[in-house]
Amino acid sequence: MKRKVLEALKKNKDIFISGEELSRKIGVTRTAVWKHIKQLKEEGYEIESISRKGYRLLKEPDTLDPNALIIEIGSNFIGKHIYHFDSVDSTNTIAKKMAAEGAFDGTVIIAEEQIGGRGRLGRSWISPKGTGIWMSIVLRPNIEPTEAAKITQITAAAVANAIRKATGCEVGIKWPNDIIIHNKKVCGILTEMGAELNSVNYIIVGIGINVNVDIKEFPEEVKKIATSIRACVGKEISRKDIVKEILLEFQKLYLDFIENKNIKKSIDICKKYSVTLGKQVKIKNRDKEIIAEAIDLTEDGQLLIKNESGEMQTVISGEVSV
């Protein structure tokens, strides 16, 4: 109901809409309308109310309010169900639990803060309150477990496109899971799955973005390698606008994969914005480290490299430094 009140206000942004009209449109009493308006105001929405004229939405807060997001993306799939938490351990952990309990394909989990945010291989991901995007998407694709890495490439392409669109910031993609600005990390992607030997039960794709995060507050070793969108643009940026673009872009690229059984569109974007290709790179994989030239991305998202003895080989994951 609150979503319907908000939707009506958003649709009539510059004009007043009377309590009577709202109650008729939504099918609730005028007292109920008043209560929802009061709640929206408490959540930070600036709503002007004038007797005999009604209500008018003046300003929306930059919270990641699922109601506002759902109205704006008008989603048919990714983000049809959005859960928003104040503070969590890790959105990926919550998403996994929800997926195991039957959450719908395309469910999105967002938190204002993570106190146990995770990177790959047990590393931690710093996720301060209210200034970043810490979110996970539950997916249930009918694919082989070996294809899961493709989801990381789809996500990298979607996030890069979305940040460029929403902020104008010229981000690059560092294979396989980093979005960077001037060689510093602004976003990391963590893809995890629940699977049998040859079938995927669910995939969780976690996205962490430093939007308005103050990097100065980070520990010394992360400060050196991290940046934020605010630092790139020079002003605070709406997290909601970026989330909206990511969900829309991701849906487009993911459905292309599901329907056409290839990730060509995503790979083209990853190549276009790649900061790795054509360069000498150092790739760390478990305890092995190789120096090689990054040549290309294969059609399924692996990195094609030419090693020091001139042999070509593909790498499915790893730590790349340019």
For binding to ligand BT5 (CB under 6 A), which residues are involved? Answer: 90-92, 114, 117-120, 123, 125-127, 134-136, 177, 185, 188-190, 206-208, 210, 222, 225-226
Question: Please, what's the b/e burial string for 89-113 (b: 16 or more CB within 10 A of its CB; e: otherwise)?
Answer: ebbbbbbbebbeeebebbbbbbbbb
C-alpha distance from residue 15 to each of 26, 48, 52, 55, 291 (Å): 18, 10, 13, 8, 62
Q: How far is the CB of 282 from ligand BT5 (least distance, A)?
A: 15
Q: How far is the CB of 150 from ligand BT5 (least distance, A)?
A: 17
Structure tokens of 263? 């990730």
C-alpha distance from residue 214 to each of 39, 115, 159, 227, 239 (Å): 30, 16, 21, 9, 14
Residue 5 vs 167, nearer CB to ligand BT5: 167
Residue 260 vs 285, nearer CB to ligand BT5: 285
In contact, 130 and 113? CB cutoff 8 Å = yes
Q: How far is the CB of 242 from ligand BT5 (least distance, A)?
A: 14
Q: How far is the CB of 109 from ligand BT5 (least distance, A)?
A: 9
Helices then strands, counting H and E runs in the chain, come out as: 10, 14
User: What are the phi and psi torsion angles at 269 (to 5°)?
Assistant: -70, -45
* Total residues found in the chain within this entry: 322
Residue 4 vs 130, nearer CB to ligand BT5: 130
DSSP state of 183: T
Cα gap 152→128, rounded to integer Å: 23
Cα gap 262→252, rounded to integer Å: 13
Q: How far is the CB of 318 from ligand BT5 (least distance, A)?
A: 10
Radius of gyration of the chain (CA): 22
Residue 143 vs 180, nearer CB to ligand BT5: 180
Sign of CA dihedral 202, 255, 249, 8: negative
Residue 210 vs 251, nearer CB to ligand BT5: 210
Residue 225 vs 322, nearer CB to ligand BT5: 225
Q: How far is the CB of 163 from ligand BT5 (least distance, A)?
A: 14
Residue 101 vs 311, nearer CB to ligand BT5: 101
Residue 11 vs 224, nearer CB to ligand BT5: 224
Residue number with the shortest CB distance to ligand BT5?
188
Q: How far is the CB of 115 from ligand BT5 (least distance, A)?
A: 10
Contacts of 126 (CB under 8 A, 6+ apart): 117, 218, 219, 222
Q: How far is the CB of 289 from ligand BT5 (least distance, A)?
A: 16
